[in-house]
Amino acid sequence: MYIMYLKTEYNSVIMYPPCLIVVETLLYDLRMRVAHILRDSGLTQTEIAHTLHVSQAMISKYLSSDVEPASEKDEVSQEIARMIIQGRDERDILLYLCQTCFRWREGGSTCSLHDLPGCTVCYQLRSPEVLDEKHRVIQNVREALSVLESCPGVANLMPQVHMNIAMSLEHAKNPMEVAAFPGRLAPVHGVVTAVSDPEFGASHHLASLLLKTGKRAVINIRYTDMLASALENLGITFSYSTDECGDVLIDTGGFGIEPCAYIFGKDAVNAAFTLRRISQILE
């Protein structure tokens, strides 16, 4: 009964993404076509299996199947086979295959098989506008870290769970549209330091907070008893609930939960400057 409910109430493509269509349908078809071309070029089944990273039994299955002509698939499979025969670097072949995959996902064969009217998901992943905004967000998060690195007092506000800087795209709808530092930030010789570059989807906790409050950027710090008075002196609004969120959200913690404060900003750099002001008055 539960399965029937899902089938009748929800669109079946939600858990059937385009990449699954590529794996289950298009990639299988391409491998079969490439296998036929390589066999006709004189390669043995063992050699073909090694090249395509499948078993010899699968190659035998490919070669025993008839191949229906399909101009676009034939063109792609012939190019892949040509690159294999020429001994091209596997990374070059992979690049061509992935470029083809995106082309098919942006209005091509994959879209036809997916059959979701009005879907622009794959285009949005690579649209110049989105990529440009992502670049600006990543750069802003990096600049925010530079602001914190230049203020030694910030490291004194590092919570036990460590610190992070997060910033979302303008119209973010899920955690994968929020950038942060993987592994969070840590104090190294008294300086707030990142272990790697910021990435999208790196902090689901801070991302969820931004999505819930509608804020663009946030930095988490350790909560102290002096923080509230420091915020009042600086004229920074604060609250204890996401329902009426100010410039700073305070979580006083609980059993096994460390007290923390969340510094919001119109962007990551703005939040970093606010945190720097707070750290200076607490020194």
Output the pLDDT for position 2: 40
Burial of 204 (C-beta count, 10 Å sphere; 0-12/13-18/19+) = middle
Burial of 21 (C-beta count, 10 Å sphere; 0-12/13-18/19+) = buried
Q: How far apart are CA 123 and CA 107, in angstroms?
A: 8
Residue 267 has pLDDT above 80, yes or no: yes
Residue 130 has pLDDT above 90, yes or no: no
pLDDT digits (tens, 9 = 90+) for 206-216: 999 999 999 99
pLDDT band at 170 (very low <50, low <70, confident <90, very high): very high
pLDDT digits (tens, 9 = 90+) for 10-57: 455 567 787 887 888 888 999 999 999 999 999 999 999 999 999 999
Average pLDDT of 141-167? 95
Output the pLDDT for position 13: 56
Average pLDDT, the chain: 89
Residue 116 has pLDDT above 80, yes or no: no
Give the three-class secondary structure for 76. helix
Q: Which residue has the higher pLDDT, 76 or 105?
A: 76
Average pLDDT of 230-242? 93
pLDDT band at 5 (very low <50, low <70, confident <90, very high): very low
Output the pLDDT for position 230: 93
Average pLDDT of 59-84? 92
Output the pLDDT for position 4: 41
To the question of pTM greater than 0.95 for the whole model, the response is no
Average pLDDT of 158-177? 94
DSSP classification of residue 26: I
Which fold does the domain 130-282 belong to in CATH? L-fuculose-1-phosphate Aldolase (3.40.225)
Output the pLDDT for position 220: 97
Per-residue tokens: 265: 């900003």
Burial of 48 (C-beta count, 10 Å sphere; 0-12/13-18/19+) = buried
Q: Which residue has the higher pLDDT, 11 or 65?
A: 65
Residue 3 has pLDDT above 80, yes or no: no
Per-residue tokens: 225: 């008893």
Output the pLDDT for position 107: 75
- Comparing CA positions, the residue from 272, 250, 280 lying closest to residue 194 is 272
Output the pLDDT for position 11: 53
**Sequence spans of domains, the chain:** 2-125, 130-282
